[in-house]
Amino acid sequence: MVWSGIDPVALQLGPVAIHWYGLMYIAGFFATWYLVRLQLKQAGLWETRVSNEAYEGLFTTLILGVILGGRIAYVLFYNFGYYIDHPLEALYIWQGGMSFHGGMIGPLVTGWWYCRKHDLPFLELADRFFTVAPLGLMFGRIGNFINGELWGRTTDVPWGMVFPHAGPDPRHPSQLYEMALEGLLLFIILWLVRKQVWPAGARVAIFLTGYAVARIFCENFREPDEQLGFLFGSVTMGMLLSSAMLIVGLAWLARLWLGRRGEPFSGG
């Protein structure tokens, strides 16, 4: 199969170009905003523990955390040598360069700060956000695919694709693998079990574990970042960061399972 070369620009309005990648971000944020709100209503937390005003403020704070965390982690872990010589360009987020792992840690930090400041139930809210976070990942990977970036390794499988700027050889469409596993499948699992009674924080731990397993698997088909290559053996930076994430997720689940800590809350 040959890459069809979808135009990354969805709509051109004079000098203003609206990119599919930006639209995917908007779709992910909107889906998260709506589905978390729905869960809070189903659980009876809307307007009892979480007001509309507090929710809007929290959501804005989380978006800021995603952007800052994603960019800072990319600079530190994926291209530090370049940005140490060009420090001002670390601020040029419109040029691309975001790390998922930083984009996860950022909103956890900013969300914890906001919830503490406004007396909101942090873990209960985090559980709801992490239940639908895979949808944002799904939309993001679709954006990567349309942009023809983060392509896979060379392959002879029938569905291999030739990507622009990646040479003439067919490659794994690893963006679609990640979309399906880190995004759609993980979302389906978390959404189907959302009404079960879990200890607070359990769904965050399930997300961390599920995402890490999916990402480590998909990294076996994804071309390593050009500026990094393999760190050692066949290990990539994505594998290394996801392994740390997996350890945290499994340790969290073990603590909840063995210690029965955290007060249960109703699903929704």
Residues making up the binding site: 141
**Which pair of structure tokens corresponds to residue 9?**
């620009």
Question: From CA 230, how far away is CA 30, in angstroms rounded?
Answer: 36
- Identify the CA nearest to 171 among candidates 185, 192, 189, 157: 157
Residue 224's identity, in one-letter code, is: P
Which letter does DSSP use for residue 152 in this model? Answer: B
Q: Helix, strand or coil for residue 210?
A: helix
**Which pair of structure tokens corresponds to residue 113?**
């700060």
The residues, ordered by sequence, that sit 6+ positions from 267 with a Cβ below 8 Å of its Cβ are 42, 43, 193, 194, 195, 196, 197, 198
| 112 burial level (CB within 10 Å; 0-12, 13-18, 19+) | middle
